[in-house]
Amino acid sequence: MSAEAIFPPASSVASCLRPKTRVYSSLQEQSLIGIDLHETVKWLLNISNFTMGSLYRSEEMCLAQLYLQSEAAFACVSELGELGLVQFRDLNPNVNAFLRKFVHDVRRCDEMERKLRFLERELNKDNIPVDDDGDVPLAPLPREMIELEGKFEKLESDMKEVNGNQEALRKNFLELSELKQILKKTQGFFEEATMYQTEHTGFAPELEEDSSRAGDLSRGPFTKLGFVAGVILREKMLAFERVLWRACRGNVFLRHAEMEVPLVDPYTGDKVNKCVFIIFFQGDQLKNRVKKICEGFRATLYPCPESPQERREIAVGVTTRLEDLQTVLNQTEDHRRIVLSQVAHNIRVWFIKVRKIKAIYDTLNLFNVNIAEKCLIAECWCPVADLEKIQGALRHATETSGSSVPSILQVMKSDESPPTYNRTNAFTYGFETLIDAFGVANYREVNPTPFTIISFPFLFAVMFGDLGHGFLMLMFSLYMLYYQRYFLRNKTDNEIWEMMFGGRYLILLMGLFSMYTGFLYNECFSISVNVFGSAWNVSADPGWDTEYLKSQTSLMVDPGKPGVFRGSTLPYPNSTGNPYPYGIDPIWQLASNKITFLNSYKMKGAVILGFVQMMFGLILALNNHLYFKNYLSLFCEWIPQIIFLLCVIGYLVILIFYKWAVWSAADSSQAPSLLIGLINMFMFTAPSQTADTVVFSGQAGLQQGLQIFIVLLAVFCIPWMLFTKPVIIYYRNKQKQATAGYGEVHTSVNGISDRADILAHDELNINHESELDSSSESEKHEEEEFEMGQFMIIQVIHTIEYCLSCISHTASYLRLWALSLAHSELSQVLWTMVMSIGLKEPGALGVVMSFLLFWVFSSLTVGILLIMEGLSAFLHALRLHWVEFQSKFYKGEGYMFSPFSFHVIVEGKSEE
């Protein structure tokens, strides 16, 4: 039965889904510059209503029990694998891998995989590319498996036979070509010998053929020399020569010559370099010795006749035989190629099929087998929203397998905490990974990912604010997005690249936000751009005429003087009389106190941003408490926490805004010092004009009263956080013990602390609990007391941590200012010390220097500012999210939902 027959289109729920996904992917292809518009829109729709399927809370999960008819089980699991929405639990954790039911089938799959790997190696040996048409076949049915097995078996034996033949032929070929080489090379040796002979007649020894006829050496003991000729690996030649010399005490004469053409090793197919040698010696004993040494060095000896005529004859014979052999070899090669090209066409599909079957059997091994009712029982976690899809898949599988009894899915109740499942898409995936790297969210806990999508690039950009650098980053991310289909198909092993590519949408947003903050800071490669026209007017000062301005190197521009600031009467630059409309006035680029001005501005900005983010974190915590109906924590922890934060930092933030609003540029010299004011507030020092701490001018008394109230309120929150919750829990426990006995209390405590058994089987839990129940009551009571002590200690730690963290986390947000300062300073240094040198130089030299320095400037910009600074800003933004933001509400102690999905298995992401 073909795949179409098994899955008639639009006949069932499961197959209905498939065409839809195809439409969706074609939409993707059409979208502009490859950005998944569709995905983004979908995500935006999701985030607008915090319902199911959004990232706000993880998917609602349920534990379900499946009763699968044994004949339908395979098809069911196959369908579920295609769906990829259920996570099976191991119901036989105590059974060894090799004692499970379907071990035999798994082994068959192993064997098939081995054969496929063998064929793949053969393909690689011949450099035949594997056809990849991107087609992913469905898992075949068990009866097809037998067919596949037979096919592979046949192919393997065919291949082995071809290989064997080829090896034998190649070996023959090698021997013949070696012999040919010997005949050719020895020719040279013998010619030399005859020349020698003619020169010294009477002394020259008569050469005699050896090898096959050893006996005739006795004819002339001193005048006749024996010889052997052979071939040896080039790298062994030196050692061979040396051993030969030593072992025969210099009584042999060796000549050797290198073969020009490397030969092919018949077994491995590699090219090997060899040497031809000929050894002359005298006497039988030496001959044996030489032969043994040759054997020891794995040299091959060949018979070589003495007379030139015989040699020529043999040579001719060898050449013709070589030619014949070559044709035969070519034929086998062609045959092999035909077999392999067949394999190359199908091997990818086969691999996928076999892997799918193996995955199915591995999954079936997790199930309980009920022999009496001929069914398999499985337990799995699945998203509640997808129950219908799963049931549809099961129905479909039952139909196709022809089973009469339907497979049943039954939702179970479970005390275990379910896995966390957040549906992501290409856009949100990168952000979700950042959060999961810290810790997987608890089940149904507020997930910081949707907020991180905006806040992370923004905090990054605050530290990385530069229009030019942001633009380069944006271009890089657009490059990745434009070619993303290509990159997705061609995976590399480069982990750093994979990481960057995975975060391509993150980099896109980081680039965009950096451009935005760069615009705010008015910095483009550290240079300000005068977009709207500066609000400062230097010529407003009557004393400053052109002559005076020329004579001075630096001037103090006082905003207090009328007309200098916001007082421009000229049509240009800024005739509105308003401050610079957006961002920093470009005039600050020229000011010597630019850093002092920006420091104060950015520091305050950092504190405000920090306060806002931490407050937001607390609001999310409120959401958590309300959702989990944890009113105890809400009233005993959350309310004092938020009061504390508002009192300590919130007051400061209000003061910052107040100061900005009340004191203008003209009277800024009388503005109060907020830092000293804050310190004095905690020391209960009265605000005074002399210390510059009066914020509400003329109402110092009222200010002091307010501040004392705020501090006392904050201090009051500490015992509130510390004691109320443990005390209430203690009394509740006492009450329960008095009324309901011990068992229930114990399990509830167990539910909190006992998380290790999540994957264990239910039976284990039952055993565990019954054991505990049987233990004596007094013991339990002691345990309860102990738990109380521990609880108190934890509460103390949490309280201290929270109070300190309000201060330290706010201080920590100052890194926003510090890094932004460092970034702008570095880029300014790069500009003034490198690029502007070239630009300042006049004439032709200036042109050349500018050209050369540009390369230095640009490479340093990319290397230091973009990559290094970018990484550091990234890490700090990450820290601000992980530590400062998430500590307010995020537990991150859940575990990931890892569904059984063919998609993952086929891609080879997780090899079991």
Partner 1 sequence: MGSFDLSEIFYNVDSGYLEGLIRGFKNGILRQEDYRHLTQCDTLEDLKLHLQGTDYGNFLANEPSPLTVSVIDDKLREKLVAEFEYIRNHSYKELGVFLDFIKYSYMIDNIILLITGTLHQRQLSELLTKCHPLGTFDQMETVTIATNTADLYNAILVDSPLAPFFKECISEEDLNEMNIEIIRNTLYKAYLEAFYDWCKEKGGATADVMCEILAFEADRRSIIITINSFGTELTKEDRAKLYPRRGKLYPDGLIELARADDYETVKRIAEYYADYRPLFDGTGNGPGDKTLEDKFFEHEVTFSTTLLSYIYWAMAFL
What's the min distance (Å) between Cβ of 102 and partner 1? Answer: 12
Report the C-alpha gap between 304 and 228 in whole angstroms.
8
DSSP helix/strand/coil, 660: helix
Question: Measuring CA to CA, how many Å separate 675 from each of 609, 678, 679?
Answer: 17, 5, 6
Q: Which is nearer to partner 1, 3 or 97 (CB)?
A: 97
Cβ neighbours for 412, distance < 8 A, ≥ 6 positions apart:
62, 63, 64, 65, 379
What's the min distance (Å) between Cβ of 246 and partner 1? Answer: 4
Which residues bind to partner 1, rule: CB under 8 A? Answer: 96-99, 103, 106-107, 110-111, 114, 117-118, 236, 239, 242-243, 246-247, 289, 292-293, 295-298
What's the min distance (Å) between Cβ of 902 and partner 1? Answer: 20
Q: Which is nearer to partner 1, 147 or 295 (CB)?
A: 295
From the list 385, 368, 365, the residue with the least C-alpha distance to 376 is 368
Q: Which is nearer to partner 1, 82 or 362 (CB)?
A: 362
Q: Which is nearer to partner 1, 67 or 102 (CB)?
A: 102
339 and 166 in contact (C-beta within 8 Å)? Answer: no
From the list 76, 86, 12, the residue with the least C-alpha distance to 402 is 76
What's the min distance (Å) between Cβ of 121 and partner 1? Answer: 9
What's the min distance (Å) between Cβ of 164 and partner 1? Answer: 15
Residue 713 tokens read as 């309120």
What's the min distance (Å) between Cβ of 122 and partner 1? Answer: 13
Q: Which is nearer to partner 1, 98 or 222 (CB)?
A: 98
Report the C-alpha gap between 750 and 754 in whole angstroms.
5
Report the C-alpha gap between 661 and 638 in whole angstroms.
32
Supply the DSSP symbol for 635: I
From the list 318, 289, 296, 314, the residue with the least C-alpha distance to 304 is 314
Q: Which is nearer to partner 1, 204 or 233 (CB)?
A: 233
Q: Which is nearer to partner 1, 72 or 290 (CB)?
A: 290
Dihedral Cα 829, 835, 841, 845, nearest 10 deg: 140
DSSP 460-492: HHHHS--HHHHHHHHHHHHHHHHTHHHHHHS--
Residue type, 258: E
What's the min distance (Å) between Cβ of 288 and partner 1? Answer: 9
What's the min distance (Å) between Cβ of 231 and partner 1? Answer: 17
The residues with which 258 forms a beta bridge, in sequence order, are 275
DSSP 153-185: HHHHHHHHHHHHHHHHHHHHHHHHHHHHHHHHH
Q: Which is nearer to partner 1, 268 or 327 (CB)?
A: 268
What's the min distance (Å) between Cβ of 297 and partner 1? Answer: 7
155 and 343 in contact (C-beta within 8 Å)? Answer: yes
Report the C-alpha gap between 792 and 798 in whole angstroms.
10
Report the C-alpha gap between 625 and 891 in whole angstroms.
12
Q: Are strands 206-207 and 224-233 parallel, antiparallel or unpaired?
A: parallel
Q: Which is nearer to partner 1, 243 or 691 (CB)?
A: 243
What's the min distance (Å) between Cβ of 148 and partner 1? Answer: 16
Q: Which is nearer to partner 1, 293 or 803 (CB)?
A: 293
Q: Which is nearer to partner 1, 104 or 219 (CB)?
A: 104
Residue 579 tokens read as 């401050």
What's the min distance (Å) between Cβ of 283 and partner 1? Answer: 15
Q: Which is nearer to partner 1, 175 or 769 (CB)?
A: 175
574 and 582 in contact (C-beta within 8 Å)? Answer: no
What's the min distance (Å) between Cβ of 358 and partner 1? Answer: 12
Q: How far apart are the first and last CA of the chain?
A: 30
DSSP 190-239: HHHHHHHHHHTTTTSPEE---TT--GGGGG-TTTEEEEEEEEEEGGGHHH
Residue type, 779: E
What's the min distance (Å) between Cβ of 111 and partner 1? Answer: 6
Residue 409 main-chain phi, psi, to 5 deg: -115, 125
Q: Which is nearer to partner 1, 120 or 783 (CB)?
A: 120
What's the min distance (Å) between Cβ of 293 and partner 1? Answer: 5
Packed helices 504-521 and 426-438: angle between N→C axes, nearest 10 degrees: 90
Q: Which is nearer to partner 1, 274 or 396 (CB)?
A: 274
